[in-house]
Chain A
């Protein structure tokens, strides 16, 4: 057996990561930000030991009136809120949820974005076999997933065609019945023509679907999907999604509660943030892949018979890692801001669990008589996101190979 010696980097050269770290250390603001973030994360982890009060405990007993909206004092460092809970403790506990949501959402967005971008970039201009009709002439791939997909795609396409006919019939039913009864009004004629066109289209498509083969360029699909996502009004859609997923009366809501328990509200908000969060990463990775896949090392890997999946994720993704990391950092900040906005409107994490965002709900009214309620959570958001943005900026400079030091 022959041992193959792995090629080593020549002495004196540095890996990208060590080089980047050395450059990052010179970036003062980024290093300060890294320090601030570390402290914030430590505070979040050790919140139960640091918090002087229970963040959800409400006062009981006599003299309740004096317990609400207390200004900052020795016992309550940042005062108490509208239910008499300690603001400082809520702030500390809030950092756990806010940071967790930020990091989880950014990580998931970047993960989804990388996969989507990788698939789009790698298969751009190389359409994949997408649909093969039941009687189409084609050498069939008998591996199980492909067979399952074939059957599923038949079901889907015929269900869709059935839906077209059903909708057309429901819309045209009344006028057409009236027409058949003898009153051919213009409306009835138009409905009958519309119904005829819809049925003819469905019949034609159903016939074609028996024999046709469709190849689909995944890049076009994903790029169109991104265009489509960008048309949707973001914030209102997020509000609606949050309401739908949280609804305890619906199947989805019950499933969420059953599966994730108390964590379901974090899971829901992360899912919602990923829905629009993956787009920037996907565009970035797609662009990187379009140039990376043409390079010699990709061809070498292909010539050696490496599978496409392995080329994409073992060979190409590591080469696109620098921009992905920068994007991931910035996404943490964006996720924290969006979560704060949603929670501010009452559609994010639900009380009694505190986050910086939901501590600001109704702050615009409290500010007139209890201003101490508004500033601490907001300042925490600003400090956190600011640190993340500075760190991202520093990383961008440090990881840029074109930058000379």
Chain B
């Protein structure tokens, strides 16, 4: 196992190196120069001044040289400054934006799992019942709905339709509360109010983001449980007279849950893609939105920091899934 982990870590480095090369190349090949806006803002700029600006930003050098300079700095912890916001890219991404997206993704992931697992078990146990058919139908609907469209529907329902029809207090149409934790520390608002405001802002985005994974995992859990329930050891347990409850939760569920680990580990990229779209619908200033804005605004340092970080996260979660898989299932050995 230890050797396996070391070997996998050894494979991760070249993989991440290649990923960062690819990301850097693509981001730098984007149409338009990061300095175009500056030139547009100042029509009096002479070509010589523009050239010296390009040299100052290192843009006169070929891409591969720029990449290695970036890599050299990044390895030393210097990710450059954000051109748009004027703060260090690392601070902007990891301190401002990442926590917000993590709150969004982790809550969605937890909710999706909490709903998908019991519902999946239910549909497997009651296979071909009316409940099974209904849930299967709705999980298909969930899989077929683009998550940004779901977000738009929810926005309409909870921000416009329900308040207008029933006169109930509305959920906010998006964004984040303009409260900071320091406000609580200074005693301007209570901690309860702080949590409540965040909760009302998060409820729609979280539900939007969770639905897709919820639908997929329900179907997956159902298939996994059905396979386990047809195994010999389940029949043996039943014929020994073990109670149905115990068969289900002790014999079947423990084995049926194992493939879910891989699934959750592999769903990280999808979750971040979904976060980008969800954040756009709800104007939620998270990391997905930061990536989008930095790509459009040619803020390369921010884009590189965020995208390479996601690549690292994806590789790390894949590794964790494989390791956990072996820990949970003693039949699996990596030699």
Which of A149-157, A233-241, A300-308 contacts the other chain? A233-241
Query: Least Cβ distance of B275 to chain A in Å?
Result: 9
* Binary contact track B27-41/A, C-beta < 8 Å → 1, others 0: 101111000000000
B9 proximal to A (CB < 8 A): no
Residue among B23, B72, B155, B314 making CB contact with A230, cutoff 8 Å = B314
In the bound complex, CA of A341 to CA of B274 (Å): 10
Tell me the nearest residue of chain A to B266, going by C-beta: A230
In the bound complex, CA of A227 to CA of B311 (Å): 11
Question: Given A341-B277, A364-B281, A170–B61 Cβ distance below 8 Å?
Answer: yes
Query: Least Cβ distance of B293 to chain A in Å?
Result: 11
- The interface residues of chain B lying within 8 Å CB-to-CB of A234 are 269-270, 273
Which A378-399 residues sit within 8 Å CB-CB of chain B? Answer: 378, 381-382, 385-386, 388-390, 393
Tell me the nearest residue of chain A to B294, going by C-beta: A236
Query: Least Cβ distance of B295 to chain A in Å?
Result: 6
B131 proximal to A (CB < 8 A): no
Query: Least Cβ distance of A354 to chain B in Å?
Result: 16
Query: Least Cβ distance of B24 to chain A in Å?
Result: 11
Tell me the nearest residue of chain A to B212, going by C-beta: A337
Residue among A166, A235, A240, A249 making CB contact with B26, cutoff 8 Å = A240
The reply to whether A236 and B307 contact each other, CB–CB distance below 8 Å, is: yes
The reply to whether A240 and B146 contact each other, CB–CB distance below 8 Å, is: no
The reply to whether B61 and A368 contact each other, CB–CB distance below 8 Å, is: no
The reply to whether B311 and A233 contact each other, CB–CB distance below 8 Å, is: yes
Interface residue SS majority, chain B? helix
Query: Least Cβ distance of A297 to chain B in Å?
Result: 30
The reply to whether B315 and A378 contact each other, CB–CB distance below 8 Å, is: no
- The interface residues of chain B lying within 8 Å CB-to-CB of A253 are 31
Query: Least Cβ distance of B130 to chain A in Å?
Result: 15
In the bound complex, CA of A105 to CA of B318 (Å): 28
In the bound complex, CA of A241 to CA of B72 (Å): 26
Question: Given A239-B292, A382-B144, A232–B23 Cβ distance below 8 Å?
Answer: yes
The reply to whether B141 and A386 contact each other, CB–CB distance below 8 Å, is: yes
A228 proximal to B (CB < 8 A): yes
* Binary contact track B1-44/A, C-beta < 8 Å → 1, others 0: 00000000000000110110011001101111000000000000
Residue among A163, A233, A250, A381 making CB contact with B314, cutoff 8 Å = A233
- The interface residues of chain A lying within 8 Å CB-to-CB of B72 are 171
A200 proximal to B (CB < 8 A): no
A340 proximal to B (CB < 8 A): yes
A31 proximal to B (CB < 8 A): no
In the bound complex, CA of A145 to CA of B112 (Å): 53
B272 proximal to A (CB < 8 A): yes
Residue among B156, B280, B311 making CB contact with A367, cutoff 8 Å = B156
Tell me the nearest residue of chain A to B133, going by C-beta: A29
In the bound complex, CA of A360 to CA of B32 (Å): 26
A221 proximal to B (CB < 8 A): no
B326 proximal to A (CB < 8 A): no
- The interface residues of chain B lying within 8 Å CB-to-CB of A249 are 31
Most buried by A among B31, B141, B272: B31
B148 proximal to A (CB < 8 A): yes
- The interface residues of chain A lying within 8 Å CB-to-CB of B283 are 364
B64 proximal to A (CB < 8 A): yes
Interface residue SS majority, chain A? helix
Tell me the nearest residue of chain B to A250, going by C-beta: B31
Count class of interface residues, chain B: 35 or more
A205 proximal to B (CB < 8 A): no
The reply to whether A241 and B156 contact each other, CB–CB distance below 8 Å, is: no
Query: Least Cβ distance of A186 to chain B in Å?
Result: 14
In the bound complex, CA of A244 to CA of B65 (Å): 21
A401 proximal to B (CB < 8 A): no
The reply to whether A244 and B26 contact each other, CB–CB distance below 8 Å, is: yes
In the bound complex, CA of A155 to CA of B320 (Å): 41
A333 proximal to B (CB < 8 A): yes
The reply to whether A231 and B15 contact each other, CB–CB distance below 8 Å, is: yes
A266 proximal to B (CB < 8 A): no
- The interface residues of chain A lying within 8 Å CB-to-CB of B32 are 247
Which A169-201 residues sit within 8 Å CB-CB of chain B? Answer: 170-171
Enumerate 21 A-B pairs (CB-CB under 8 Å) in ascending A order.
Answer: A166-B64, A167-B68, A171-B69, A228-B18, A228-B22, A233-B273, A236-B291, A236-B303, A243-B295, A253-B31, A333-B144, A337-B146, A344-B280, A364-B148, A374-B156, A378-B146, A381-B149, A382-B146, A385-B144, A388-B144, A389-B140
Which residues of B approach A to under 8 Å, CB–CB? 15-16, 18-19, 22-23, 26-27, 29-32, 61, 64-65, 68-69, 72, 140-141, 143-146, 148-149, 151-153, 155-156, 159-160, 173-174, 269-270, 272-273, 276-277, 280-283, 291-292, 295, 303, 307, 310-311, 314-315, 318
17 more A-B residue pairs beyond the given contacts A167-B68, A235-B273, with a C-beta to C-beta distance below 8 A = A227-B15, A230-B314, A231-B16, A232-B23, A233-B23, A233-B307, A236-B295, A239-B295, A243-B31, A341-B273, A367-B152, A367-B160, A371-B156, A378-B149, A381-B149, A382-B141, A389-B143
